[in-house]
Structure 1
């Protein structure tokens, strides 16, 4: 492409998460233009058109790909459709950014990547690592504020799966699809944190995992305890996640502590701090953090296409996160049918 030409973008999927993708694209209007959107639900498309000006709409992804001279597609459809949609876009030699996970399982992702044969460029939309406080934390680690790392603890707790007086569960009101996911907490939520921990600390292996389900309104896990080992030095990383924790807020907040020889680095919600040889504190606006991660991910995708930066969440990188996810499920032996409530 010419340096001054805007890329023509097609959006695949008009569901919940597209409401965050579209503002990110609008902020890149000098470099890219969303020219079309496809979703089998016309009502979902109309909900997006109420807030965003998109020239052409389609209820068939194939029809959009056949009719539109696109440069790239942004796949923000549910994960069970990712493999099929990536194949369709790759067949048109388009550049692709696809919401995480690339596929519903590690094996499916490996098979997909083997079949692409270098068609187009593919990035996984894994935006958690692009949150501003994690970029700052990475800079502090690189600066040596923690020194030699000795221990890492990560926790995210929520009361979203606890029913209110009317029997409603806030997490299921916010994201109804949680009800039917056969892989829930680890594949849908913790995958973000696994990717972010890899970004911050390097490669890891799963030592042990325990998964549980708290209620019958879901079919998969919403409680997880995981121990990881950093491959470079054996440092243990513990993760405790619970979406049915009494006393926790309805929406989970990340709580990460990195204990090192020179200091302790801590992210508690939106407050980042360093204690020890150097003391620092920095707070972040939660609304800016959430949308900002989508903005930064889309900007990174365009920067990588322009050759300005190496693509961080390439398929080769993201497959390592999926391998951790798969190992957690394998080691936990979680089976809600075998161990019903």
Structure 2
């Protein structure tokens, strides 16, 4: 039987959610969407043949016979929408971050507990190349990771030849976020690093703003360690001149018996065996949404959430919260 889904939110990211739900149409169906913007919700409904639209999420939950909700509303509304869905006894998939702060998220996780199936929609770790890196770490004989560094460098906040800022052209809402780079973008990479290496501890951070086009942070460097002390460095900069306007990941992992390198669309394993894989980044981006939602549906079928459990996701939010304590005044 197809799982009946209500989508809360009709903003930028919901296009990717809905593409994923459509790819899994044999297993689930989005039967309703709620968003205060009539234009946004009606546009999404028309694009994806969603039969019912609502201005208010509470009205949608009261009127529809749903099995689960996909919460993709603005992040300041996530906690309220989670509580609303939990009160209705519905399974919950909630877009990251869970709440406005770590403290609020921690209280929310404690409050909801195991009352309903509850998963965080954190999709970066589901990109096929990161799943492959995880398998290489486990199975390719490279041994224990000794050091890792990851970079997310883009000129997205540097005017291009037409005077446009590519980062804001793609996601205009970034301009108004007081906590932007770490909480909206690098949160994905922190979570992915935790997926690959286990729990991480933040040792120091530098967080600041270079561009007048945004009010929040646009560059950061986080120094972390794994449980056994291996250093893990993450740096991000949206004002990096000379880099592309799009966001690309770079990751290098030194292990006891080998090395793994992700360089944009090329993934290389060096060690007891060598392998190089060319990546279709656009396809992998779409797959990350699809596979996150598939994992949610698998969890519903199994009677337990399999990955991205809220209690575990708090480890990512803790690092985000701690990083902002190192933020330099603008």
Above 0.5 in TM-score?
A: yes
Q: Residue 48 of structure 2 aligns to a residue in which SS?
A: coil
Task: Give the total of aligned pairs.
Answer: 330
- Counterpart position of 2:69: 73
**Given the two structures, how large is their TM-score scaled by the length of structure 1?**
0.94
Deviations 1:72-113 (A, max 9, x none): 000011101101111111110100000000011100101112
Moved over 4 A (4+): none
Which of these residues, 277, 292, 311, is aligned with residue 316 of structure 1? 311
Alignment of 1:18-29 (within 5 A): 18-29=14-25
Matching residue of 1:32: 28
Residue 165 of structure 1 and its aligned partner are, at CA, apart by 5.4
**Cα distance in 1 between the residues matched to 2:216 and 2:113:** 34
Offset of residue 118 of structure 1 = 2.8
Q: CA RMSD in A?
A: 1.4
Name the counterpart of 2:116.
120
Q: How does 1:1-341 map to 2 (within 5 A)?
A: 5-164=1-160, 167-231=163-227, 233-307=228-302, 310-330=305-325, 332-336=326-330
The runs of 5 or more residues in structure 2 that have no matched partner are none
TM-score (norm 2): 0.97
Q: Provide, for residues 278-302 of structure 1, a one-character-per-residue CA deviation record: whole Å limited to 9, x for no partner.
A: 1101112121111110000000000
**8 A Cα contact 1:146 1:258, kept in partner:** no
CA deviations 1:220-269 (Å, max 9, x no partner) are 111111110111x1000111111111111111111000011211101111
- 1:288-329 C-alpha deviation (Å, 9 max, x unpaired): 111110000000000011118752100111011101111111
> What is the deviation of 1:13?
0.5
**In the TM superposition, what is the alpha-carbon distance from 1:334 to its structure 2 partner?**
3.1
Deviation track 1:185-207 (CA, whole Å, cap 9, x = no partner) reads 00000110111001101111001
* CA contact 1:145–1:274 (8 Å) conserved in 2: no
